[in-house]
Chains A and B, each alone.
Chain A
């Protein structure tokens, strides 16, 4: 590589990093508690206690669960019913209207074996929600998502250019050498290089999947006006529903249509994820991967008969697979700990990069490179 090309790559590394570093530090710091959000939430708001169910206990009737949930929240409607993948728990989400605002409604957990309803959970507007908003959209909605997505793209550019400028530094060093005996600057330069290259693949994957996650809202919109509209097209001119049919039967229809899958959540008619006339039952598989690849089964909300079930289009699947790869929530607690440690190392890489720039010497890059290449410029291309 010529000195000029290297100089350009160095400029890319410098500027992409400089623009994004503060936001990336924010993302890394807020991401740390978010890795453990399930554990933190369970600690502060323990799951309702589940009693062992005696054999022959009455089976759950979902229509009764819905009726009691609505009785507990007069004046509200059901938006969603969701099912916990691990515990035999479900949750009924109600709000004053079918679509936001308000964004969040009230959630009432229930025992999926008996149908017993537990007291409503307090709305989620605490510390973890603050952290989540800072991590996802800076309280700005779609522009915030897209802005942080752009910062993610800068991160990717910074990683690629970082690998290129890593090369000349390592011409005369063994892998993972840290020259700690000489100057602070040299030590931190070596640390920046080794920590950056060691965590490269993970940061790249978490960065790219993070960028894809920032596109969640547009992807959702595309699916609603695309596949969902197609699936519900025959109902376009049907008059609005006067009352809802049985959810219990609707769930049975969906289960029969996909016997090797489990319901993940049900979107009620009129909500964002369904039509005006359907229960949209989103089915999930049983491996960590297929559990994310939801399959919508649309059930007529009057007759409880299945009307259509399809695979999600590729762009939705990409988003759904990006989620676990960004969150690190698909391999138990040890994977979350690994995620956290790699996140901390990333913070050190960002911090040391900033330190190296702040303490930069006023030496032109050419001179700097000349020192690095003292053993002979020009052999580089043959390497």
Chain B
């Protein structure tokens, strides 16, 4: 299946919006805003973690 631009970029777009939200919210205030910042900037990191785990699983054939 050939994917269109929307399909290719919908997740990257969401991640970019979350990153911008995280970058800005800690500037606006402390406490709640800091927490919001950690959570939204943490999503890309979480995703990288998922990619890593998935790669390990593929490399280790199921027995």
Residues of B bordering A, CB below 8 Å: 1-5, 8, 10-12, 15-17, 19-20, 23, 26-30, 34, 37-38, 41-42, 44-45, 47-48, 50-51, 54-55, 58-59
Interface residues of A in 60-109 (CB under 8 A from B): none
Q: What's the A-B contact tally at a CB cutoff of 8 Å?
A: 103
- Given that A198-B47, A288-B28 are known contacts, is A171 also in contact with B19, CB under 8 Å in the complex? no
Say yes or no: B11 contacts A334, CB within 8 Å: no
A interface, how many residues as a size bin? 35 or more
Say yes or no: B12 contacts A180, CB within 8 Å: no
Residues from chain A with Cβ under 8 Å of B38 in the complex: 331, 334-335, 338
Say yes or no: B48 contacts A178, CB within 8 Å: no
The listed residue (A172, A194, A383) touching B1 by CB distance below 8 A is: A172
CA of A166 to CA of B37 in the docked complex: distance in angstroms?
Answer: 27
Residues from chain A with Cβ under 8 Å of B20 in the complex: 201, 205
Say yes or no: B34 contacts A198, CB within 8 Å: no
Say yes or no: A201 contacts B48, CB within 8 Å: no
Say yes or no: A199 contacts B3, CB within 8 Å: no
Residues from chain A with Cβ under 8 Å of B44 in the complex: 198-199, 202, 342
- Given that A195-B48, A200-B12, A288-B30 are known contacts, is A331 also in contact with B5, CB under 8 Å in the complex? no
Residues from chain B with Cβ under 8 Å of A338 in the complex: 38, 41-42, 45
CA of A247 to CA of B63 in the docked complex: distance in angstroms?
Answer: 76
CA of A17 to CA of B32 in the docked complex: distance in angstroms?
Answer: 38
CA of A359 to CA of B50 in the docked complex: distance in angstroms?
Answer: 27
Say yes or no: A332 contacts B2, CB within 8 Å: no
Say yes or no: B3 contacts A288, CB within 8 Å: no
Say yes or no: B26 contacts A288, CB within 8 Å: yes
Interface residues of A in 334-383 (CB under 8 A from B): 334-335, 338, 341-342, 345, 375-376, 379, 383
